[in-house]
């Protein structure tokens, strides 16, 4: 991979995607964007008040950044729907999957992609590729498709095509799979005692089959001691990221850690240790989604380790160059940000999603009734 003339601080910043408080670019956020030079930002419901405000926030953030940003959001539909308060709810993955129509799968991605694109986002951290096992139903709920890996792939492939139709980059998550995890990784570290053979034949199938179609893969804070020999999160495991995802599966897209503020990783490492470890393991990017102090500490930890270790600096450079290359080549990331959506345009999107949701639910109810007979 070609070298770059960018300084180390800029390269280190590209690995960081962070969240923040507020609904506009404050003086503090402006300073962070200029000094940290992050690869991306992520918005949550707390940042989103209206379509025009959200678009203005993303546009202003991009203006303060010297390099194009990944403008990210978690938009799956159902329980993970950051836009429902301003556009209306999108049907859940489970509702669309139960309806069982391949056309619906792609339309789900296309409509969600149209909404996030209209607001100024270019990355949607979806679809979920975790299998729908009994162990995780309490935690995952309607976010998963099926315990059948091929059914999960069928939905995800079309959803990704729908996103691509409107030039939005998708992300498969949560590698290697939270399907057998009984705990919520936001609060604790799930430990899955499942053999490598079983994981390869079930949970990892979506990544094997979709590797060439996934712009991003998000790695989970979940431990698999049968594979690694210790109870450490996959998000900081070289075995999982470097050996399995990169080498065995052959994934060449961007690897991003789940939020490093989550209990699933902070129960076993400090924010500094987690940031360095995920990059050491082979991740290109890491998320720090809420706390400004932790954002700064994670960034400084990466920078300090890169200054201390030539080997780690090489990892930072490789990851940053992969990110910068993607930003130059991917249609989702090279396209210009659309103008602020008109109220007429937003009403059209609301109506389309409402109609789609009603059709999906009606079809799903019919399918469920027929299955019960």
Instruction: Give the start-to-end residue ranges of the domains of the chain.
Output: 8-372
Q: 55 catalytic, yes or no? A: no
The pLDDT tens digits for 173-185 are 999 999 999 888 9
Question: For the chain, how long is the longest CA-to-CA vector?
Answer: 67
Q: Which of 7, 21, 148, 186 is catalytic?
A: 186
In the structure, what pLDDT confidence band is assigned to residue 66 with cuts at 50, 70 and 90? confident
Q: Mean pLDDT of all residues in the chain?
A: 95
- Least confident stretch, 35-39, 208-212, 302-306, 329-333: 329-333
Predicted local distance difference test score (pLDDT) of residue 4? 60
Quote the CA–CA distance of 349 and 89 in Å, as a whole number. Answer: 11
Does position 2 have pLDDT exceeding 60, yes or no? Answer: no
Predicted local distance difference test score (pLDDT) of residue 83? 96
Predicted local distance difference test score (pLDDT) of residue 278? 98
Out of 3.40.50.150, 3.40.50.720, 3.20.20.300, 3.40.190.10, select the CATH number for domain 8-372.
Answer: 3.20.20.300
The DSSP-derived string for 88-107 is -PPPPHHHHHHHT-HHHHHH
Predicted local distance difference test score (pLDDT) of residue 366? 84
Predicted local distance difference test score (pLDDT) of residue 166? 96
Which tokens sit at 199?
């994981």
Predicted local distance difference test score (pLDDT) of residue 370? 79
Q: 186 catalytic, yes or no? A: yes
Question: Is the model more confident about 140 or about 367?
Answer: 140
CB 169 within 8 A of CB 214: no
Q: What is the mean pLDDT of residues 303-331?
A: 95
Q: What is the mean pLDDT of residues 114-123?
A: 97
Q: Which of 81, 203, 258, 259 is catalytic?
A: 258
Quote the CA–CA distance of 127 and 251 in Å, as a whole number. Answer: 17
Q: What angle do CA 174, 179, 185 make, to 5 degrees?
A: 60
Q: What percent of the chain shows pLDDT beyond 90?
A: 88
123 membership: H or E segment, kind and range = strand 123-124
Strand 123-124, strand 171-175: pairing:
unpaired
In the structure, what pLDDT confidence band is assigned to residue 334 with cuts at 50, 70 and 90? confident
Omega of the bond prior to 173 within 30 degrees of 0, cis? no
């Amino acid at each position: 991979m070609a070298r770059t003339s960018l300084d180390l601080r800029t390269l280190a910043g590209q690995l960081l995607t962070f969240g923040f408080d507020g609904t506009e670019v404050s003086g503090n956020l402006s300073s962070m964007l200029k000094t940290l030079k992050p690869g991306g930002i992520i918005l949550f419901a707390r940042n989103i008040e209206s379509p025009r405000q959200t678009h203005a926030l993303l546009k202003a953030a991009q203006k303060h950044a010297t390099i194009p940003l990944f403008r990210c959001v978690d938009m799956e539909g159902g329980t993970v729907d950051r836009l429902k308060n301003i556009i209306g709810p999108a049907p859940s993955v489970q509702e669309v999957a139960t309806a069982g129509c391949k056309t619906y799968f792609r339309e789900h991605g296309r409509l969600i992609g149209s909404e996030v694109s209209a607001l100024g986002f270019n990355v949607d951290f979806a679809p979920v590729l975790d299998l729908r096992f009994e162990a995780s139903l309490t935690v995952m709920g309607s976010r998963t498709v099926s315990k059948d890996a091929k059914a999960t792939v069928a939905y995800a492939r079309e959803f990704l095509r729908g996103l691509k139709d409107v030039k939005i980059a998708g992300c498969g998550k949560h590698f290697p799979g939270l399907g057998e995890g009984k705990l919520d990784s936001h609060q604790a570290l799930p430990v899955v005692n499942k053999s490598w053979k079983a994981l390869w034949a079930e949970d990892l199938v979506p990544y094997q089959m979709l590797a060439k179609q996934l712009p991003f893969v998000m790695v989970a804070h979940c431990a698999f001691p049968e594979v690694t020999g210790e109870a450490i999160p996959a998000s900081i495991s070289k075995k999982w990221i470097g050996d399995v995802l990169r080498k065995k599966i052959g994934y060449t897209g961007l690897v991003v850690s789940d939020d490093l503020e989550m209990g699933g990783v902070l129960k076993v490492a400090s924010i500094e240790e987690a940031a360095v470890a995920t990059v050491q393991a082979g991740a290109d990017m890491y998320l720090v989604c809420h706390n400004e102090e932790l954002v700064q500490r994670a960034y400084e930890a990466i920078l300090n380790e890169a200054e201390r270790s030539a080997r780690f600096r090489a990892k930072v450079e490789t990851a940053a160059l992969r990110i910068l290359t993607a930003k130059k080549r991917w249609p989702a990331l090279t396209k210009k940000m659309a103008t602020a959506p008109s109220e007429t345009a937003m009403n059209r999107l609301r109506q389309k999603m409402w109609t789609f949701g009603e059709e999906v639910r009606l079809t799903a109810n019919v399918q469920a009734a027929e299955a019960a007979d």
